Structure 1
Amino acid sequence: MALLKKTKTIFYVLISSMGLTTYVNANQQITTAKVENAMTQAFQPLMQKYAVPGMAIGVLYQGKSYEKYYGVQSLADKKSVNKNTLFELGSVSKLFTATAGSYAQSVSKLSLQDHPGKYLPALKNSEINQVTLLQLATYTTGNLPLQFPDQIKTDAQTLKYFQDWKINQPVGQFRQYSNPSIGLFGEATAKAMNMPFSTLLEQVIFPQLQLQHSYVNVPKAQQTNYAFGYDQNNRPIRVNPGPFDAQAYGVKSNLPDLLQFMNLNLNPDQAKASIRPAIQGTHIGYFKMGGMTQALGWETFDYPASLETLLESNSDRVVMQSNPVEKTLVKSGARVFHKTGSTNGFGTYLIYIPAEKFGLVMLMNKRIANAERIQAAYEVLNTLKQTSHP
């Protein structure tokens, strides 16, 4: 599927994967019912296909916000999903870690060209200190793995893991998506800001972003809003603690907060002046791999981008393997931004396209394939732009 460029009043959308050509009148009135129907038609079949208990979908389109809630947040008590329901974000948490690091740089507490040993002195004489904070944040360290080994549990074990780690690929030339990589970036950021990472998010970054119900540690008063996730056998499950979990996959949030976060990324001029440079800093692309450019947290693409390109960015080859990259610096131009996230019981997807004034947030309390999320989101956008051609 490819979205082609906007003309003065007509969109031409070529959906090659479906063999369908549609012409879209740009002046068509977008109603709330139309947006909600688009969300339902695209995502509700996934609930049925994968037995997803609950879901929240939000759309930003042409300056307006839309929310739709489906199903239950727990199969036990049958409480309906609503605007207060908290979902585990999985790797979408990395967007907040990236924002925190960008914020620390904007207030001159660190530079992305610094090395982790500057903030964690125990790493000064280790090979990991040959890597910059930017390379940690963009997964270009030279082979830090997707996950920590199972035996790494404690802070002491985590520190020793990095002390013993050895480079086996040229730093800055290969990308290997990695929780330890961005985890160490987040920990160095917290040290630079002189506070625990969870405190940095909950007391500095979230308030700056005007997020009212986003947490690393869900408070007691919010426990009734915290959804249960469900594994592939429909057993209730929540995320387990692990090394650098807060930095890599530990945030919980609700749909209104994520729409607020997305709106500030779509429209940084609406953000507080104190956090605006940090948001804009996360949009800069640093390493290119095929059709994807790795920014801070966000995976970005030239716009128009094909559906196949977005799907490839979440393929097993890209997520599970090390791939060569080219150093770049992308600060402007029409682009697509997205990020997937999962825990064992939850699935999340964020995508926004500034040129279309479009953004979408998907939250589910069951993990489904990333490809299904991406395809459904594109279906929503195309439906909003689609009408019968005379």
Structure 2
Amino acid sequence: MEDLQDFVSDYTKDRKHIHLVIGIIRKGDTEYYSFCNTKKKSTISPENMLFEIGSITKLFTSILLLEMEREKLVSSNDFVGRYLHNVENEYLNKITLKNLATHTSGLPILATNHFLAKNKLNLSKNRLNPYSNYSEDDLTAFLSNADYTDSIGSFEYSNTGMGLLGNILCKVSGSTYDDLLKKYITGPLKMGETAVILDSEQKSRLLNGHTSTGKKVPHWDLSVHEGAGAIKSSIRDLSLFVQANLNDDNPLASTLQKSHIPILNGDSNRYFGWGNDKLLEKDILWHNGATYGFNSYLALIKELGIGIVLLSNYCYASISIVDHYVDQLKKWITKKEPSQGVFVDPIGKKIMEAIV
């Protein structure tokens, strides 16, 4: 697209460490574009740069559930309590794996015993890698007393629920999350750059992440939350994933098709992993993701056979102490929530509109 620079200029302006890569996908064809402000030219081709993709991981976790259900290893209608033998809580016998995959379990975005959920400013280094020290024992302690029965069936976006789902699938299979990815998704689709744990060569291609103010931050370790946001990937691999969703001639076709069908769950239609919206009267399936150093967006319109992927090594927000206090002061003065910066999502939607 000749005018692509017009779509991204506001996002890339004044961000001296920025790497923004875009894949525009049409059936049988993918075009890659790259935008950066770094003075030193990278020796890594844009298609092979690796990024944290954050919550797009949730889409993969949901598809793992459908693949394991296809093999009759689990059922999406199984109650969560069936797989948590060391937790006795009747609430867990009311919610299903399907509830976890569709964010309708009632579980909150973060467990109440996670420090980020306590709404307190954390001054430790761990605040830059906030999931690394949250263990399976911590999750078990939270689930032992959790009761969100009144919210079952209603949409509540939940890192806790999707992390729990990934953890359950690993326990059922006796495999690591990466092993499941390779067996069911990345192997069949030849997505060799998509994983949680990278080898040494891949680590050399994993970009540094930055907050919206340009501060370099550590890469995230998701621990028990890996099914909610731990995957790293490239624009090439995620474009292959979109292609697979647009074409029915691939090893995952039946499972991917199932993920595109809305199911009535509680009081609304939900999808396995996907978000759904309308774009120029067309149904668009999408997911986004963010860590403290990266932002990502993936979307497709199956009816038209088009899709898009955007990966950035800038987060949409800042997590510095000074910025936190400035935001709190602004909130106190204006009585409004502070701005959280710019997502790549609007860029993706505008490009999709132009393609349509």
> Which bracket does the TM-score occupy, shorter chain normalised?
0.7 to 0.9
Residue aligning to 2:52: 88
Residue aligning to 1:55: 20
Would you say 1:282 and 2:266 are equivalent positions? no
Tell me, yes or no, if the aligned pair for 2:108 and 2:157 is still in contact at 8 Å. Answer: yes
- Trace 1:1-390 onto structure 2 (pairs within 5 A): 35=1, 37-48=2-13, 53-61=18-26, 63-71=28-36, 82-123=46-87, 125-142=89-106, 144-148=107-111, 149-151=113-115, 153-172=134-153, 174-267=154-247, 269-272=248-251, 275-287=252-264, 293-301=269-277, 304-305=280-281, 335-368=283-316, 372-385=343-356
Residue aligning to 1:308: none
How many residue pairs match? The answer is 315
Identity %: 22
Separation (CA, whole Å) in 1 of partners of 2:39 and 2:114: 30
Matched to 2:25, the amino acid is L
Alignment CA distance shift 1:226-1:184 (3 Å): same
User: Per-residue deviation at 1:260?
Assistant: 0.3
Separation (CA, whole Å) in 2 of partners of 1:120 and 1:288: 23
Secondary structure of 1:340's counterpart equals strand
Matched to 1:285, the amino acid is P
Matched to 2:109, the amino acid is L
Tell me, yes or no, if the aligned pair for 1:347 and 1:366 is still in contact at 8 Å. Answer: yes
Tell me, yes or no, if the aligned pair for 1:346 and 1:365 is still in contact at 8 Å. Answer: yes
Matched to 1:251, the amino acid is I
Tell me, yes or no, if the aligned pair for 1:85 and 1:227 is still in contact at 8 Å. Answer: yes
User: Per-residue deviation at 1:202?
Assistant: 3.5
Tell me, yes or no, if the aligned pair for 1:180 and 1:244 is still in contact at 8 Å. Answer: no
Cα offsets for 1:157-202 (capped at 9, x unmatched): 2112112211252421x11101011111122222222322232123
Alignment CA distance shift 1:170-1:62 (3 Å): closer
Separation (CA, whole Å) in 2 of partners of 1:355 and 1:82: 29
Calculate the TM-score normalised by the size of structure 1: 0.73
Calculate the TM-score normalised by the size of structure 2: 0.80
Query: Which structure's residues are more often strand, by fraction?
Result: 1
Residue aligning to 1:310: none
Tell me, yes or no, if the aligned pair for 1:91 and 1:341 is still in contact at 8 Å. Answer: yes
Tell me, yes or no, if the aligned pair for 2:290 and 2:315 is still in contact at 8 Å. Answer: yes
User: Per-residue deviation at 1:136?
Assistant: 1.1
Matched to 2:250, the amino acid is A
User: Which ranges in structure 2 are unaligned for 5 or more consecutive residues?
Assistant: 116-132, 317-339
Residue aligning to 2:319: none
Cα offsets for 1:103-151 (capped at 9, x unmatched): 0111111111001222232235442232111111111112x11123335
User: Per-residue deviation at 1:69?
Assistant: 1.6
User: Over aligned residue pairs, what C-alpha RMSD do you find?
Assistant: 2.7
User: Per-residue deviation at 1:370?
Assistant: 8.7
Tell me, yes or no, if the aligned pair for 1:90 and 1:342 is still in contact at 8 Å. Answer: yes
Tell me, yes or no, if the aligned pair for 1:214 and 1:257 is still in contact at 8 Å. Answer: yes
Matched to 1:234, the amino acid is G
Matched to 2:56, the amino acid is V
Tell me, yes or no, if the aligned pair for 2:27 and 2:243 is still in contact at 8 Å. Answer: no
Secondary structure of 2:142's counterpart equals helix
Tell me, yes or no, if the aligned pair for 1:347 and 1:364 is still in contact at 8 Å. Answer: yes
Tell me, yes or no, if the aligned pair for 2:44 and 2:205 is still in contact at 8 Å. Answer: no
Separation (CA, whole Å) in 2 of partners of 1:195 and 1:45: 44
Matched to 2:187, the amino acid is P
Separation (CA, whole Å) in 1 of partners of 2:181 and 2:65: 11
Tell me, yes or no, if the aligned pair for 2:61 and 2:166 is still in contact at 8 Å. Answer: yes
Separation (CA, whole Å) in 1 of partners of 2:209 and 2:102: 29
Separation (CA, whole Å) in 2 of partners of 1:129 and 1:192: 17
Tell me, yes or no, if the aligned pair for 2:21 and 2:310 is still in contact at 8 Å. Answer: yes
User: Which ranges in structure 1 are unaligned for 5 or more consecutive residues?
Assistant: 1-34, 306-333, 386-390
Separation (CA, whole Å) in 1 of partners of 2:264 and 2:346: 25
